[in-house]
Structure 1
Amino acid sequence: MPISRIAIGTTEEVTHPTTLKAAIAEFISTLIFVFAGQGSGIAFNKLTDNGAATPAGLVAASIAHGFALFVAVAVGANISGGHVNPAVTFGAFVGGNITLFRAIWYWIAQLLGSTVACLLLQFTTSMATGTFGLTSGVGVWQAVVLEIVMTFGLVYTVYATAVDPKKGTLGTIAPIAIGFIVGANILVGGAFDGASMNPAIAFGPALVSWNWTHHWIYWVGPLIGGGIAGVVYEIFFISHTHEPLASDY
């Protein structure tokens, strides 16, 4: 069972150079992802006079986030595994594929990367970053379930293409598959709750704008969805004869 594979880690791991390098890689990858994703929304608003909440704006957001995540995962894959998302890191943790100490470093780096990206966007564009929120008629628990389902799909894709030791050559397309599922899910959930699937990309804009309305949704939903995906894939599809991957994918 995955629960038996969960590891806290060692105190030496906290300051080990590979852990610190992985955290830096997560910071940079998350900054790249959030800067491009949030930046595309800001640019679309400027060009269309606040038209980001239109069908064309939704498609633009889907494409920008899909492309940016593809790159962010690819450039971090060989160093940190290219999580770029606390929910992905949590899914890897509950599946026994990363230690708690290393995961905490990842979470800190991801939140800092998102925050710095939003500060840079605010400085360079003189425009506010967009925060995640619910549209009219969408209840908080509807949004939570939506985030759970979308993040489940994302983390399940991560497991199938990047974590599974039987993936073979499929691992080479992992970044683009991960980018595609995020882009597709934005087309589904963007009109309802913004389609976060990632606590980090919700945290940066909320902190910079100091707008925490319904922010908890973008933590609870993704973490539950990511955790379920990690447990489900580990139980049903990964042979438990392989050794736990304590450092990364």
Structure 2
Amino acid sequence: MPVSRIAIGNPAEFGQPDALKAALAEFISVLIFVFAGEGSGMAFSKLTDGASTTPAGLIAAALAHAFALFVAVSIAANISGGHVNPAVTFGAFIGGNISLVRSVLYWIAQLLGAVIACLLLRFATGGLETSAFSLSSGVSVWNAVVLEIVITFGLVYTVYATALDPKKGNIGIIAPIAIGFIVGANILVAGAFDGASMNPAVSFGPAVVSWTWDNHWVYWLGPFIGAAIAALVYDLIYITPDTHEQLPTTDY
């Protein structure tokens, strides 16, 4: 059972150089990802006089996020695992692939990266608004929660299949692009309804900078539930105890 492998970790890990380097890698990757993803929406809105909520705007957002996430995961993969998402980190924690202590470090770094990216965007664009995620007309909070659960399930399941499964073999080479593709595809599906976050950090950065918190909890609850379900399903069905890579004993 994956739950039996959950590790709290050692508080001393907060000061370990390798843990801090991994957290820094997450900070940089999230900053790059959010700057490109959020920035693409701001640029499209400027070029079209506020018409970012159009089919063309949705396609532009999907492509920008897919490309940026491919790069963000790739550049951090060998250092932190390239989570670039608090929900992915939570899914990895549920499956016993990362300790709680290191997860907290990652979450702090990821949220800071998103906030700094949005602050930089606001400054670099002369004060343009970094729009917070919101629900479209006719979409209830529970509609959005279900959407976020399903699309985040797809994302974290992909992460497990291509990056975390010890049997992944050569498929691990394409993990970053597969992860980028599923995020881009999910934005095409859910972007018109709730913005298709899948990533609490991506929602948190614009919310802080614009100080807009309407229904913000949706973008935490949905992704965390979806991530947990994906981790449990993939681990229980496809990762057997004899193939699971245990955490180093120093992480317990």
TM-score (norm 1): 0.98
Counterpart of 1:58 in structure 2 is 58
Counterpart of 2:75 in structure 1 is 75
Counterpart of 1:218 in structure 2 is 219
Map 1:104-119 → 2, pairs under 5 A: 104-119=104-119
Instruction: For residue 12 of structure 1, report the CA deviation from its aligned partner.
Output: 2.4
Aligned length: 248
Instruction: For residue 245 of structure 1, report the CA deviation from its aligned partner.
Output: 3.5
Counterpart of 2:233 in structure 1 is 232
Separation in structure 1 between the aligned mates of residue 12 and residue 115 of structure 2, nearest angstrom: 28
Counterpart of 2:92 in structure 1 is 92
Instruction: For residue 35 of structure 1, report the CA deviation from its aligned partner.
Output: 0.1
Unaligned residue ranges in structure 1 (runs of 5+): none
Counterpart check, 1:11 vs 2:11: yes
Unaligned residue ranges in structure 2 (runs of 5+): none
Supply the AA of the counterpart residue of 2:83.
H
Supply the AA of the counterpart residue of 1:210.
W
Counterpart of 2:247 in structure 1 is 245
> Superposition RMSD on alpha carbons, in Å?
1.1
Separation in structure 2 between the aligned mates of residue 130 and residue 65 of structure 1, nearest angstrom: 16
Per the alignment, in what secondary structure is the counterpart of residue 192 of structure 2? coil
Per the alignment, in what secondary structure is the counterpart of residue 194 of structure 2? coil
Q: Which moved more, 1:32-41 or 1:126-135?
A: 126-135
Counterpart check, 1:192 vs 2:193: yes
Separation in structure 2 between the aligned mates of residue 211 and residue 25 of structure 1, nearest angstrom: 28
Separation in structure 1 between the aligned mates of residue 144 and residue 11 of structure 2, nearest angstrom: 38
Counterpart check, 1:142 vs 2:118: no
Separation in structure 2 between the aligned mates of residue 198 and residue 11 of structure 1, nearest angstrom: 26
Instruction: For residue 51 of structure 1, report the CA deviation from its aligned partner.
Output: 1.1
Instruction: For residue 239 of structure 1, report the CA deviation from its aligned partner.
Output: 1.7
TM-score (norm 2): 0.97
Instruction: For residue 240 of structure 1, report the CA deviation from its aligned partner.
Output: 1.2
Counterpart check, 1:103 vs 2:128: no
Instruction: For residue 196 of structure 1, report the CA deviation from its aligned partner.
Output: 0.1
Separation in structure 2 between the aligned mates of residue 156 and residue 76 of structure 1, nearest angstrom: 19
String of CA shifts for 1:96-151, please: whole Å, max 9, x gaps. 00000000000000000000000000000021111100000001101000000000
Supply the AA of the counterpart residue of 1:206.
A
Counterpart of 1:20 in structure 2 is 20
Separation in structure 1 between the aligned mates of residue 59 and residue 9 of structure 2, nearest angstrom: 42
Per the alignment, in what secondary structure is the counterpart of residue 191 of structure 1? helix
Instruction: For residue 79 of structure 1, report the CA deviation from its aligned partner.
Output: 0.2
String of CA shifts for 1:43-88, please: whole Å, max 9, x gaps. 0001000111000000000000000000000000000000000000
Supply the AA of the counterpart residue of 2:201.
A
Give yes or no for contact 2:136–2:194 (8 Å, CA) kept in 1: yes
Instruction: For residue 19 of structure 1, report the CA deviation from its aligned partner.
Output: 0.3
Give yes or no for contact 2:166–2:245 (8 Å, CA) kept in 1: no
Spell out structure 1 runs of 4+ moving beyond 4 A: none
Separation in structure 2 between the aligned mates of residue 99 and residue 183 of structure 1, nearest angstrom: 29
Supply the AA of the counterpart residue of 1:132.
F
Separation in structure 1 between the aligned mates of residue 104 and residue 216 of structure 2, nearest angstrom: 20
Identity %: 70
Separation in structure 2 between the aligned mates of residue 123 and residue 174 of structure 1, nearest angstrom: 34
